[in-house]
Amino acid sequence: MTEIRAACSPGEVRIAVTDHDILLDAAIWRPGCPDGLEDWHVVRVQKAAPALGGAFVLLENGQSGFLSTRENLIEGALTAARVSRAAQNGKGLRLRRADMPTEAPSAPKLLERGPTPLDELADRYPDAPIFVDDPGIAAKLPARLRPRFQRCQQAFDGALEADFDSLGSSEADLSLLTASIFPTPALVAIDLDSAGTPDFKSNVTAFPELARQLRLRNLSGTILVDPAGVKTRKRPALVPFLREALAGDPLKPDVLGATPSGLLELTRPRRRPPLHELLSSPHGQALSILRMILRENRPGQTLTASISLVTALENDPDALADFISRRARPLDLVLDPNAPPASWSLS
């Protein structure tokens, strides 16, 4: 039976779609700091960049983005746009043109939020019940989804927690092979290897699980895969098998072929930030700390942490308020300018 399970903690909803304990899809939703995908805005044109195919624009909150369009835009003018790619990998929002509202505002303005990751997965699996361990999250979702909600004490059991946490690792077990994953600003490099003697067949056998890992981790952009134990001249023959393994991905990756050096090249559309980026960012680390304090019932009410962690928590007041409400005691934030980026203590 396919189920959507939403584990709620301060500032964060971790979402897993399972079928008989097999993880099919995963996502993270941060209600206080949404990624903005498909948000509808009125934006101000800052600087036209026809050579880049668009213009730099300014949003209501002061955030900037790049609007892709072939039309000539006048600097300083207002136009409507929707976010087509969330900020990620050190790059800002990407937007596309949209219809202006009937009553256009006189300044940049957010008109409508796009679907949340939970909305998106609920639509992808329309018959799946949604198990949620916090009834308050129902108020943040469309009314059409509420009949599918089922209250539970704990959305993630120990096995699902471990499966979800493993998605932040740089290695993935593909049964016969192991994938070592190296995200860079330009691309994602994946090295397939084995403790035994890999061959053509073991790569083909590993491709379905590799495709599942790409989807679960939301690895996107240009992806290069280095097969294990296959001579360079034989690697183009692997391309049809990789293409078949990726056929069920809703983002429809494009397998381009094998490079002259024998790397398998594919592209997967960038939309939401990849899971590793969400988990490893200062915001992700800070929310993980709050979740750990609650889970382990740690004493103390003063959290001393690095600049990046304290700043991340201050920028998500909803997460702090939720944490204090769940813990029923205040939390004081103290910034330690000399602390390493991931350093923190509770006293």
| 10, 322 contact by CB (below 8 A) | yes
Calculate what percentage of the chain has a pLDDT beyond 70. Answer: 100
CATH number at residue 86: 2.40.50.140
Does one domain contain both 28 and 154?
A: yes
Q: Is the pLDDT of residue 275 over 90?
A: yes
For residue 241, what are the CA distances in angstroms to 175, 201, 245? Answer: 17, 10, 6
Does one domain contain both 46 and 30?
A: no
What is the model's pLDDT at position 137? 83
Query: Whole-angstrom Cα distance, residue 21 to residue 254?
Result: 29
Does one domain contain both 29 and 125?
A: yes
**Cα 280 from chain centroid?**
11
Q: Say if 141 falls within a structural domain.
A: yes
Does one domain contain both 51 and 88?
A: yes
DSSP string covering 180-241: EEEE-SS-EEEEEE-SS---HHHHHHHHHHHHHHHHHHT--EEEEEE-SS--GGGGGGGHHH
Once rounded to an integer, what is the mean pLDDT over residues 258-274?
Answer: 97
Q: Say if 238 falls within a structural domain.
A: yes
Does one domain contain both 23 and 149?
A: yes
What is the model's pLDDT at position 301? 92
Does one domain contain both 262 and 203?
A: yes
Q: Is the pLDDT of residue 25 over 90?
A: yes
For residue 329, what are the CA distances in angstroms to 11, 116, 204, 326? Answer: 17, 30, 54, 8
Does one domain contain both 76 and 199?
A: no
Tokens (6 digits) for 186:
């330009």
Calculate what percentage of the chain has a pLDDT beyond 90. Answer: 92
What is the model's pLDDT at position 136? 83
CATH number at residue 154: 3.30.420
Does one domain contain both 262 and 286?
A: no
Q: Say if 276 falls within a structural domain.
A: no
pLDDT digit string (tens) for 51-71?
Answer: 999 999 999 988 999 999 999
pLDDT digit string (tens) for 127-185?
Answer: 999 999 998 887 788 889 989 999 999 999 999 999 999 999 999 999 889 999 999 98
For residue 120, what are the CA distances in angstroms to 28, 45, 142, 215, 318? Answer: 11, 30, 11, 14, 22
pLDDT digit string (tens) for 155-165?
Answer: 999 999 999 99
What is the model's pLDDT at position 142? 86
pTM of this structure: 0.94
From 8, 26, 7, select the one nearest 16 (Cα to Cα): 26
Number of domains the chain is built from: 4
What is the model's pLDDT at position 321? 94
Q: Say if 139 falls within a structural domain.
A: yes
Q: Say if 274 falls within a structural domain.
A: no
What is the model's pLDDT at position 140? 81
Does one domain contain both 71 and 210?
A: no
Once rounded to an integer, what is the mean pLDDT over residues 259-274?
Answer: 97
Q: Is the pLDDT of residue 21 over 90?
A: no
Of the candidates 215, 233, 268, which is a domain's last residue? Answer: 268
Q: Which domain holds residue 205?
A: 168-268
What is the model's pLDDT at position 158? 93
What is the model's pLDDT at position 138? 76
What is the model's pLDDT at position 74? 92
pLDDT, the chain, mean: 95
